[in-house]
Structure 1
């Protein structure tokens, strides 16, 4: 079954370029286009795509507001399109439900792979860029610490998993770190997302920073002392 995609960008040349690249893939079907946030919401409701490429800056309604509406009302997974040096809104986009973001100058193969990755249920957490972005955003906000209700529901191993999600490790890297199988890692990740009511790994990474499990700039993050999660 093909991956259904909608491309939302107010720049026609950019939008058309993405459509041509994706439509040329045998497993991807571009089912709609949008040039502003309101059109993007309408397209999500009509076409019910698996993935939507969403520009952050658009007329009528920006991509962040559109993403929040789409993610709250549909199962569509959103990838934000941005230029890192100009847009300071990616953190808010991830919090609103986006599964990650892409720089507009990315390579053709990276665009195609990103759509496939997100359609499969993963998030775009690129350690070299995304972590730096989240760190910068967290530095501007107070870290509230882990809410008591989370300390009660997360096991010690799930808390470790959340830390590794914050470090943007892949399943294979997490398996090596925890000395378990990738299948076990997937189970831990699924449990963390379910217990914390998170949409995907992107939001889990943000939660790890917000709770103070990841200290901006630290090289080796561990669950802070004094936390006693459930061990069951």
Structure 2
């Protein structure tokens, strides 16, 4: 059976059957379309909640990128030239957020965002109200079998893997780097160097996903917004 975007919407909605709270993860390498897919899912789901839930407020989008370590800390650690690698994120902080979301005890939970223009995390940027039953969270390393990242997978109801074809993914990635300040040469070097090493690591986690979202569906949801993953 050919997987469709509508089928993904239905599957995501079913994660909160009975009113329980669930976090859906979307993993994949840089520029695979994770953010675009997450945003399109939320847009499609928001006006059509399951019975008993409130339209709009029942679904939320919380990217993992807010857990990037700040540049000043990356400089201190000597990791600034590897920004985007697994150890340049606060993985345990992200897991702590997911744990709070699953515990479902707070009226509002604030998550950090990430501002592409300045390439820095922004604390307290994303409010998640108690009414939110489904939270969609995308990031590179949701399936990584590493001591720092392993707790993340256990806190996600499902993880889908965005499987965009390599030439298109690389084109989007280089374009994104150029839009946010790198010249074309530097953009290509970063995309085929640091980013590609991370992409190979992420691709090795594909088989751990509950569902692989094929390139055809990712193309269907459109071009990513500026800064989209």
Q: Choose between structure 1 and 2: higher helix proportion.
A: 1
Please give the TM-score of this superposition, normalised by the length of structure 2. Answer: 0.26
Mark the structure with the bigger radius of gyration: 1
Which structure would you say has the larger RCO, counting Cα contacts within 8 Å and 6 or more residues apart? 2
Q: Choose between structure 1 and 2: higher strand proportion.
A: 2
Please give the TM-score of this superposition, normalised by the length of structure 1. Answer: 0.26
